[in-house]
Amino acid sequence: WGRYLTCTIFQVIFVIGVGLLSFVSWFFLIKPRGCGDGNLVCNPTSSLGVAIFYLSVYLVAFGYGGHQPTLATFGADQLDDDINSKAAFFSYFYFALNAGALFSNTILVYFEDKGLWTEGFLVSLGSAIVALLAFLAPTKQYRYVKPCGNPLPRVAQVFVATARKWSVVRPGNPQELYEVEGPESAI
């Protein structure tokens, strides 16, 4: 897959999830059957509306969980192996994450306090679409790092080694603990 394709696919899933959340909040949960203003009679929500709501929430979580950690490593791939440039990238990256959290904790809370749930979801959808387009725009200028294989066998190897060595006694001298340099070593 590679990091670029992973970021793209999961960002699209995230946008679809936020779009569905906006749709379901408007058509099923708030307008036709909502009683948020205290004047409308509260009717139970439809099963279809609830199903779409849960689907949209799971899509948002799945999309965000897939692209957010991959985006950081993909961004680091765009830089040379200079420690200072990568440190600056991660500083700006996490500053942008915190600025987004500040936005969501101030602007979107305003919409929530006013009972404008759908508008808040639409603002989030607009932000997600702008972010997706900003990510896709410089596609031809990106550096693409090919995947180095499947990480699952190495993770499984750690669990198998842990299970096999569970009862091994640790040597008293820490100098006896070492790893030999080789193709599978972390040195």
pLDDT digits (tens, 9 = 90+) for 16-69: 999 999 998 887 765 545 555 566 666 677 788 889 989 999 999 999 998 888
Distances in whole angstroms, Cα of residue 152 to Cα of each of 27, 32, 71, 81, 140: 42, 47, 20, 26, 30
pTM: 0.74
> Collapsing DSSP states into helix, strand and coil, what is residue 56?
helix
Mean pLDDT for the stretch of residues 160-167: 91
Residue 177 token pair: 């603990």
- Helix (H) or strand (E) holding 164, with range, is helix 152-164
Residue 47 token pair: 């099963």
Q: Tell me what pLDDT residue 35 has.
A: 59
- The phi and psi torsions of 39 (rounded to 5 degrees) equal -100, -30
Arithmetic mean of pLDDT over the chain: 85
Most confident of 38-52, 120-134, 171-185: 120-134
Q: Does the pLDDT value for residue 180 go beyond 80?
A: no
- The phi and psi torsions of 41 (rounded to 5 degrees) equal -75, 135
Q: Tell me what pLDDT residue 32 has.
A: 47
Ranges of each domain in the chain: 3-141
Give the pLDDT band (50/70/90) at residue 118.
Answer: confident
Mean pLDDT for the stretch of residues 138-149: 86
Q: Does the pLDDT value for residue 185 go beyond 70?
A: no
Task: Convert 65-100 to b/e letters by CB count within 10 Å (16 or more is b).
Answer: ebbeebbbebbbeeeeeeeeeeeeeeeeeeeeeeee
Mean pLDDT for the stretch of residues 4-17: 95
Q: Tell me what pLDDT residue 48 has.
A: 86
CA separation for the pair 139, 70 (Å, rounded): 16
Q: Tell me what pLDDT residue 138 has.
A: 92
